[in-house]
Structure formats: structure tokens, C-alpha cells
Chain A
């Protein structure tokens, strides 16, 4: 901004006289935003009353009447009678104190649970690094490979002096993160191929296959695919070969996610001006050069915000594996809540699970909105 323009703005700025009363200040704000008509006033009062009433009863339930710990009886079992006497009026947080390790890490050997904990940290680190624009380079791929390998080593063990832990003992948050991360890591490249195939004009047969794949998968619920993975997949394999449950669910999840991501990527491909395609052709680039160097870098950048929104959806959808009995976060929570000693305190556990899911999803959606703002600012310059 030039010097003269800045001077003009300073000159045009209002003088420092006090503004007229009743236009600014908290009282004026209240009048403008909460009590600007009798209708608005009535709504404000009603909602305010409900918020205060429910807020107070929630505080009473969650803090004042809550039970934070329970004694352990002679068998080493927690004794939840205190919780039961306080039950409808007060929360029982003792169930979380007793069960949080099981909810987070499933039946992973107790002394070894630092390994899944480390995995969770690795996953979070991976997300943070992938979210930072200064790391959006080819080296990011290496970081992903390294991190996913490290996670595999930590979970399975059997090398580097770590004990071997079979896959059916994994559970909790690492399973949710594994399903989401591996699912997206494999679904994304597949979705780009499918989107390109759907857009191709020279290969009608490929286009038909891609359209059929996307529309079929998008037309059926994820559950039916998971059922397919759990009961039909074993029939597809050669006699005697039976891949484990988690892998089967993972494959179903990848196929599901790829169909939805492909539609998002296709949106980006369509939004790109035709001139970009023609210019690449005019330069004499081959199809893959054109796609890799000109089209995809621009098209994918356009669709990052909707991609992140789709990622949020898949992160939530991993919870559906509960129905085919895979020990993800929601399943371990549900098992913990159905334990005889703690029966009737499911809501406390669901609240904890809700907070965990919310933190991940809210972080992603905040990030996606920030990116959107940044991109639109760059476009509207």
C-alpha cells in the first residue's frame, strides 16, 4: 500500500469523539442481538432458561453428585455399589478409571500397552506433519512409509526384542486409526485412478467399468460391504486360505472409500479449465506426463477441503466395524459397558468415546475450513 493511500485512510477515519450512546457497548450489543423485538426477547428468555436449567443439572450429574473412584473388594474386583446408589443423579467416572486402558488399547498385553500408545502418537504426528503445507513434497511419501512401517513393527512386534502380539489381541483406538489411515492411504491412489478412468474419453470400456464401480458402491450401505467382507470374502479365496478379519474389513473399507473419494477427485478434474488440458496436449506431453505434471497437481489442490470433509466421514464410519465384531474404539467401549460389574454406566463410556471422536473430527474440520479460507483468499486476490 502506498504512502498516500495510507494517509487517505487515516484522514477518512472517524474522529475520536465518543460515539452516540446506545450504539456500542455491551448493553447496546445485548439489545441488538438478544432483545431486538418482543419475539426475539421471548426466544432468548426461553432458551436462556433451558440452557441454565440443563447446564446446572448436567453439572450436578457430572461433577457434584459424581463418583470418582470405588473401593476394590477382596477378589480384586471393583465394587460399584456406591455408583449404583448415586446412579440416576450422579455420574460414575470410576468406570473410566477402571476401564480406560481396555477401551483405548483393547486386550493388548497390559505391560506392553506403551506400544499401541506410541502408535497413536505416531499416527497423530503423521497427521500433523501431513497437514503442514511446508511438508507437501515428495518426501512426505517417505515419511508415510516410514511411519506406517514403524507402526506395523510396534503393533506386531517379533523383531527388535519386542514380543510378538497376534492381531486378534489388538483393539481400541489403534484399530480405529489403522482402519482410517491405511484405508485412506490405499483408497486415495485408487480413487485418483478411478476418477481419471471415469473422465477418459478414449477408453469407453474403462469408463463404463469405473462408472459401474462408483455407482454400485455408492448405492449400497457400508454395512453390506462389511458383511460381504466378513461372510462372502472367505468364499472367494482358494480353499484353505483365510485372511484375517481385520484385513478383510480393511479391504472392504478401501473399496468403499475409493468410490466416494473418486467422486470428489472427479469434481476437481472437472473444475479445471479446459485450456490446461489443451495446453498440455499442445506441449506434446504424453497422457501420464500431462496428468502427473499439469492436471493432478492443480485438480487435487482444488479439492483439498472437500477431501478433508470426506476423510472426516470415513474416520467416523470406521466405527461401523462394530457390527462385524472388530475391536475398534466403539466396540471396546461397548464391551466395557456391558461388563456385569459396570452394567448401567454406558453413557459415561459413550461420553468419553464421543470426546475422542470429536477431538479428531473437530480438528480436521477446523483445519479444512482454515485451508478453504486460505485458498479462497489466494484466488480472490
Chain B
């Protein structure tokens, strides 16, 4: 705060302005000379490489530019979140499909790895010896094996499952075979969009109600119960909307037809292996982060919370977690980034993420520089977005120091 209150005695004094002396003994001059030399050397290296590249491209008759993005791709893509047809869609659209596939693995993987990692991290602190030992063995074992080896192992394992005709089944709905997991899929109609909208409204209403309850508690000391309103708004309201629109509910079951399934939704073995491998690997690291975060909260805090009469749940929510999260968030961010970057290993198990599609593209078109630049740009964008979000969240929960 000293910057805002200026000392009147110091206001007239400004640091004396240094004059640059043309002598090697002047550190300022030396710094400038060194920087000019280093930047010059770097520029020379870059100029040399760019020159070589241009000559090489000319020698190989490769045209530069991103024009190839609007050419017809002709890459068959098995899994796509947006419609894609190799016979007339472009490379640009193929790459967008790849980005979406990457995000599909990354988002689901981050959520699952956080859940699994937190469970195992808490398990390592369990008073049950068997649970603690097993969690420790899990963490030690999975952290010391290359993630690529684990991906190949899971993919190999999923491929040794029986074929569609002998698939393992759960009733007539879920089938597990070497073609992946087949699950029934809801036949999505307009009514479901309205139900979803009602649910989102319910979330907003619940938040508002919780806020009102907090204000009432601050005024009167008594907290009105939140859960009946939450139940009504989150479950009752959407259910009402759904029923009012005729309650459409038809499931599209997978049916064995010849040698393969028809209908239903699929989790392909490629996606499954990638997801299982990334989640189990990253969970081992997250478990360690969670454990050290919980251990970083001094025992006195928990005892003090108990002395204040907080129930264990409230103590965990109001005392332990806010302090543990402060330790947990920064390393957790880098684990989320690692998972996202490791999802590029999809190319080894044949899942078509952005790296896989971009490398096919650069093999077909010869546009190596553009292809790799696109891969890097995609990952830099994802990395920066995750770190920006996590930095914001970290600042949000950071200790406010007086």
C-alpha cells in the first residue's frame, strides 16, 4: 500500500537519469550490446532456416498456404460429433471433427480422472490398512509405466474381447464386444430440449434460493432449508415440463444384425482404450495431489472446527476443503493440461483426434509445415484456455490477505 500514500519528502526526488557512456565498463551499455548480439544471432538462425525451407519447398514443388483446407478430404472418419462425409467434405471440416474428438476425450477424461484420483487420494489416507496399501500400490505402479505402453495394453485387451455374436451382455440393452460398448440411446425430440431448458432454469432458481437462504441466515441466524426447493426446481420442474409435452420416451436399442450391431450408441474400442488409459494414468497423479493437499491442512484447523461445533460435513466443506483446494489447484491444472496433451497419443491406438487427422492430411497433401502449425495452434489454444480458467478459479478461491 506504500505506493498510494506518497511521502511528501520523497516527492521531489527522482532517481537521477543515467547517461549512457560509450565504455565497456558501463553495465547498461554491456546489456544493450549483449541483447543486440543475441537477438541478431537468433534472427540469423531463423533467416537461415527460413531460407533453407523456401529452397527445399521450391525444389519439391510444394506450394505453401492454407488453401488445401478447402479441398476435398477423402479421409474416412469413424467417429464424428458433427456430420462428416469423406466424399464431399473438406480438410478444414475434417480437422474440426478432429478437434471435437480431442475435446471429447479431454473433457470426459478430466472429469473421470478427477473423480477417480480424488477417491484414490482419499483412499491413501484411509484408516483401513488394506485400502491405504492398495491405493499406494495403484499410484506407484501406474506412475512408473509409460502412458503409451498402458494405452497399447488397454487397446490390446479390448481387442481380445469376444466378437459381437458372443458379446458379454447386460440384459438386452448393453453389449460389450471387440466392436466396443453398445448402449441404448434416447430418441431425442423437441420435448427433451424443453426439459433441458427447464432443468437449467431450475439450476438458476436453486442458486438464487441458496443465496436468499444465506442472506436470511446472516440476518436472523436461522438458515431456511434449501433442499426441498432444490429438489422441486431440479427434478420436479423439468419432470413437469417433460410430462406436459407428452412425456416422449423411446430408447433406440442396439440389435445384433448379422455380424454386427445396428442402432444404439457406441463407445468404440479406440475411444474406450484411450479414455481408460488416460484416466487411470492421470488419476494416479491426481491422487498424489489430493493427498498432499489434504495433508497440508494442519490438524489444528480440523480440531478448531470441531471445537466451534461444526459437524464433520460442514467442517469438511467450510474449513478443510477451502484450504486444501488452495494447495491442490495449481498442480491439478498442470495435470489437466497433461491429460489433454497426452490425448494426442490417440494416434497410436487409431482414434482419430486432431493429431491423427492432421498427420493424415499432411501425408496426403504434403503440407507439413501448415499441418504441424495447426496441431500446435490447437493445443496452444486449449492449453491457454485451461490455464486461464484455472488461474481465474485459483484467484477466486485464493486467500484474501489484508
- A, B in one complex: yes
A221, B341: Cβ atoms closer than 8 Å: yes
A220, B375: Cβ atoms closer than 8 Å: yes
Q: Which of A107-115, A152-160, A231-239 is near enough to bind chain B?
A: A231-239
Cα–Cα distance between A317 and B146 once the two chains are bound (Å): 7
CB-CB under 8 A from B34, the residues of chain A are 203, 206
Interchain nearest-CB distance for B54 vs A (Å): 9
Name the interface residues of A13-66: CB closer than 8 Å to any CB of B.
33-34, 36, 40, 43-44, 47-48, 51
Name the interface residues of A311-345: CB closer than 8 Å to any CB of B.
312, 316-317, 319-320, 322-323, 330, 334, 344
What are the interface flags for B112-153 relative to A under an 8 Å C-beta threshold, 1 for contact and 0 otherwise? 000000000000000111110010000011011111110011
B347: interface (CB < 8 Å): yes
Name the interface residues of B232-246: CB closer than 8 Å to any CB of A.
none
Interchain nearest-CB distance for B53 vs A (Å): 5
CB-CB under 8 A from A235, the residues of chain B are 52-53, 56-57, 368-369
Cα–Cα distance between A219 and B387 once the two chains are bound (Å): 10
CB-CB under 8 A from B375, the residues of chain A are 220, 224, 227
CB-CB under 8 A from A231, the residues of chain B are 362, 368, 372
Q: Which of B172-180, B260-268, B376-384 is near enough to bind chain A?
A: B376-384
A294: interface (CB < 8 Å): no
Q: Which residue of chain B has its CB nearest to the CB of A88?
A: B160
B140, A220: Cβ atoms closer than 8 Å: no
Cα–Cα distance between A362 and B145 once the two chains are bound (Å): 9
Q: Which residue of chain A has its CB nearest to the CB of B127?
A: A36
A34, B145: Cβ atoms closer than 8 Å: no
Interface residue from A223, A239, A322, A358 paired with B52 (Cβ < 8 Å): A239
Q: Which of B35-43, B196-204, B250-258, B390-398 is near enough to bind chain A?
A: B35-43
B76: interface (CB < 8 Å): no
A300: interface (CB < 8 Å): no
Cα–Cα distance between A40 and B128 once the two chains are bound (Å): 6
Cα–Cα distance between A338 and B317 once the two chains are bound (Å): 52
A357, B149: Cβ atoms closer than 8 Å: yes
B105: interface (CB < 8 Å): no
Interchain nearest-CB distance for A265 vs B (Å): 17
A358, B141: Cβ atoms closer than 8 Å: yes
A205: interface (CB < 8 Å): yes
Interchain nearest-CB distance for A39 vs B (Å): 9
Interfacial residues, chain A to chain B (CB-CB below 8 A): 33-34, 36, 40, 43-44, 47-48, 51, 88, 202-206, 209, 216, 218-224, 227-228, 231-232, 234-239, 312, 316-317, 319-320, 322-323, 330, 334, 344, 346-347, 350, 353-354, 357-358, 361-362, 365
Interfacial residues, chain B to chain A (CB-CB below 8 A): 27, 31, 34-35, 38-39, 42, 49, 52-53, 55-57, 59, 127-131, 134, 140-141, 143-149, 152-153, 156-157, 160, 341-342, 344-345, 347-348, 355, 359, 362, 368-369, 372, 375-376, 379-380, 383-384
Supply 18 further A-B pairs (C-beta < 8 A) apart from A205-B39, A219-B383: A36-B127, A47-B134, A206-B34, A209-B38, A218-B383, A231-B368, A238-B52, A239-B55, A239-B56, A316-B144, A316-B147, A320-B148, A330-B146, A346-B152, A347-B156, A357-B145, A362-B140, A365-B143
